[in-house]
Chain A
Amino acid sequence: MNRSKFKVDIRCNPIHVAEVQVTHRMSPRFYFIPQTRAIITSLLLLILALPCFSQQDWIRTGTGLGVEKIRLAVPDFKPSNQDPKNPELLKAFNDTLWNDLDNAGIFDLVSKSFNPLEVPGQPTEVKFEVWSAPPPNASMLAFGNLGVSGNTVMVQGWLYDVKNVTSPQVLGKQYTDVATTDAARLIAHKFADEIIFRLGGGVQGIAESSIYFVSDRTGHKEIWAMDYDGSNQRAITHLGSISLSPRISPDGSRLAFSSLTKTSWEIMMYSLELGRAVAFPRFGGTNLSPAWAPDGTRLTFSSSRTGTSEIYMVDASGGSLKRLTNAKGPDVSPTWNRKTGAQLAFVSGRSGLPQIYTMEADGTNVQRMTDQGYAVSPSWAPNGQFLTFSWMRKYGPGAPGSNDIYLMDIASKQWVQLTHDGGRNDFPSWSPDGRHIVFQSSRSGSEQIWTMLADGTKVQQLTFTGHNTQPNWSWK
């Protein structure tokens, strides 16, 4: 009848930015290594005597449980003039701003139906007492105006602390861009990121980040890109072959992926600045799953050039080939410790079914992380503390196997299951702020791309056309 409260601090640099609290019943699913208990600093285990609901074997979790989220009111921005293009751009702007702030997972947004009839477009129009009192009961208010004149759009936005009447302004911004809905969306992303940066503990927002993925909607598997919220989906490659495993470089300038040629699978390099493929050596055999070191100077990937698939490292131009692993089973899907750049996690079939392993970037100190089942597709959290991966824990005849996304604390090997909603869930990839995870799931009937908060809540579908797989979130 005990339920444990499993608290995970997601830390970035020294600043404490967010808390993801995970409640979980003590059960065999809860994996714990006693020896390392003492050194766990990031995980706090509080045993609470709570009634147990016998039917459910997992507990839905939430961000900042027990911590009050900032209550933020975001009334629609108002037109600042009478231009006929205003309504279209305003709609794109308001929808994007709302979604960005909602997706951030750190705000309690005031439902728009609670807003007073008259919303402000200028600082002079703000009536503090209307916003700070119920029903809005807001602590913060984001408001502003948008106006098109000729070919340009101008947006003014403010963030007010409505409980601090004497000096309310937290933020005041003005943006100018070409008068298109794409530009309006971009401005909304930028403004949202400013708000998240100010109120979210100093972590850069992700509203301007991108997700790269594989889509077959043209009939061939090509590499595609989209904004983090699923808008602006566009094809990057047009190779007409099979292209897989896109990995964006840390500076966002180059995209490494794997593509089927006539005789082999090769690592390809695409320059997003030049808009074309750039030279990269071909190694022969099956070359897969490239992964960028966080400083962008090195890549690891899996190659079968000498037989079994092993992990190799090259510099950013493909030179100085160096082999890191040497095992009987296949080694694939390396991912770098994004914080230190000194360790790698990867998948190996050396002991049978594939499991997650870690090692130093020179190939030493190989450690097995998962203890059973079928574990693949690791992604290392930006804070360096967590791995997320796809796991079919109980694999075998008669086992109700489902692939789910799991989060593991690397130091303690404690894990928690993030997805529970059926389908095959694979290829998790962390958002730059470490608060979100993008992944592929078949829960809707076909393979599509979804995002969620790093505690498994706020699940959203981003793609709907064709089959979309292997998402990779940009580094910033």
Chain B
Amino acid sequence: MKLQKIKWITLMFALGAVLMLGACKKKVAPPPPPAPPPPPAPTASLSASPNSVPKGQPTTLSWQTTNATDVSIDGIGAVQPNGSQQVTPADSTTYHLTAKGAGGTQEATARVTVAAPPPQAAVPSATEEELFSQSVKDIYFDYDKADIRPDQRAALQGDAQFLGQHPNIPFKVEGHCDERGSTEYNLALGTSRADAVKSALTQAGLPANRVNTISLGKEQPFCNEHTEECWQQNRRAHFVYQK
């Protein structure tokens, strides 16, 4: 009985000690309400316009900062607190602005996407089309075959996902073949390739009437060399954005 009592007392004491300690801590670090006026924290914003360019084309970075004394952009260096500058990134780049002031440090980023070799007559405003061409991958086939290769399934899944997320993007699937074999048989083979992709897309949930297909056989090759490398380039289902 006595032992139990001691235990209880010890426990209570310990609890009290914990409470006391907590209270003490609160007392030790109180917010300094009347402290000297704090320097205002800096603000910063950075934007690129346009934020997506064909390779080789410039874009304009614009930034605004307040309460900053030291502003710099990675890759460009120290800059004025407010300003703009033309840049021509070689690849897709994330620009990183650091604004330091007495009140602290603020960061801002802007992403510039560089599209691979500019398609001829790219419409600069058609960002949806650019998104399409960046996100949708063509599907490649084996010689004289129209079934989806295992190594192409991931790409096709990505295509289905993107197209599912953008239900308003109009597109068609072109079936292409390499230069070998007859014109007529290759047009039939191209049809089968486009249809194989269509059936995979509809299985992934796209409505069938949204997937238009056309075969181009060996009529419009992507590559004109007589090599296996080039033939592989031509054996594909090509996704085309339809305006």
Which A residues are closer than 8 A to B by beta carbons?
221, 242, 244-245, 260, 263-265, 285-286, 288-289, 302, 304, 307-309, 330-333, 347, 349, 352-354, 374, 376-377, 390, 426-427, 469-470
**Which residue of B182, B190, B214, B215 contacts A390 across the interface (Cβ within 8 Å)?**
B182
Check B181–A354 contact: CB distance below 8 A.
yes
| B195 / chain A contacts, CB cutoff of 8 Å | 304, 307-308
Residue of B nearest to A329 (CB): B192
Q: How far is the CB of A371 from chain B (nearest CB, A)?
A: 17
Q: How far is the CB of B193 from chain A (nearest CB, A)?
A: 11
Check A245–B185 contact: CB distance below 8 A.
no
B189 adjacent to chain A (CB < 8 Å) = yes
> Given the interface contacts A307-B195, A309-B191, A330-B192, does A354 sit within 8 Å of B185 by beta carbon?
yes
The main secondary structure of chain B at its interface with chain A is helix
| A469 / chain B contacts, CB cutoff of 8 Å | 183
Check A309–B192 contact: CB distance below 8 A.
yes
Identify which of B191, B192, B195, B214 gathers the most chain A CB atoms within 10 Å of its CB.
B191
Residue of A nearest to B179 (CB): A424
Q: How far is the CB of B66 from chain A (nearest CB, A)?
A: 56
Check A330–B191 contact: CB distance below 8 A.
yes
> Given the interface contacts A242-B219, A309-B191, does A289 sit within 8 Å of B184 by beta carbon?
yes
B21 adjacent to chain A (CB < 8 Å) = no
Check A347–B182 contact: CB distance below 8 A.
yes
User: Bound complex: CA of A141 vs CA of B214, how far in Å?
Assistant: 59
B44 adjacent to chain A (CB < 8 Å) = no
Check A264–B214 contact: CB distance below 8 A.
yes
Q: How far is the CB of A25 from chain B (nearest CB, A)?
A: 29
User: Bound complex: CA of A242 vs CA of B219, how far in Å?
Assistant: 8
**Mask: chain B, 175-208; 1 = CB below 8 Å from A; 0 = not:** 0000001111101111110010000000000000
Check A347–B184 contact: CB distance below 8 A.
yes
**Which residue of A221, A308, A332, A353 contacts B184 across the interface (Cβ within 8 Å)?**
A332
Check B184–A349 contact: CB distance below 8 A.
no
> Given the interface contacts A288-B187, A288-B188, A352-B144, does A376 sit within 8 Å of B181 by beta carbon?
yes
User: Bound complex: CA of A263 vs CA of B191, how far in Å?
Assistant: 12
Which B residues are closer than 8 A to A by beta carbons?
144, 181-185, 187-192, 195, 212, 214-216, 219
Q: How far is the CB of A51 from chain B (nearest CB, A)?
A: 39
Check A377–B182 contact: CB distance below 8 A.
yes
Check B181–A349 contact: CB distance below 8 A.
no
| A349 / chain B contacts, CB cutoff of 8 Å | 144, 185, 188-189
Check B185–A332 contact: CB distance below 8 A.
yes
> Given the interface contacts A242-B219, A263-B212, A352-B144, does A427 sit within 8 Å of B182 by beta carbon?
yes
Residue of A nearest to B212 (CB): A263
Q: How far is the CB of A378 from chain B (nearest CB, A)?
A: 10
What are the 9 closest A-B residue pairs judged by CB atoms, nearest first?
A: A330-B188, A309-B188, A376-B182, A286-B191, A304-B191, A332-B188, A289-B184, A332-B184, A333-B184
User: Bound complex: CA of A469 vs CA of B195, how far in Å?
Assistant: 27
Check B184–A377 contact: CB distance below 8 A.
yes
User: Bound complex: CA of A331 vs CA of B189, how far in Å?
Assistant: 10
> Given the interface contacts A302-B188, A304-B188, A330-B189, does A286 sit within 8 Å of B215 by beta carbon?
yes
Check A353–B144 contact: CB distance below 8 A.
yes
User: Bound complex: CA of A260 vs CA of B215, how far in Å?
Assistant: 9
Can you list 19 residue pairs at the A/B interface with Cβ under 8 Å? A242-B219, A245-B183, A286-B191, A286-B215, A288-B184, A288-B187, A304-B188, A332-B184, A332-B185, A347-B182, A347-B184, A349-B144, A353-B144, A354-B144, A354-B182, A376-B181, A376-B182, A377-B182, A426-B183
| B215 / chain A contacts, CB cutoff of 8 Å | 265, 286, 304
User: Bound complex: CA of A263 vs CA of B187, how far in Å?
Assistant: 14
Residue of B nearest to A214 (CB): B183
User: Bound complex: CA of A426 vs CA of B186, how far in Å?
Assistant: 13
Q: How far is the CB of A394 from chain B (nearest CB, A)?
A: 14
Check B181–A308 contact: CB distance below 8 A.
no
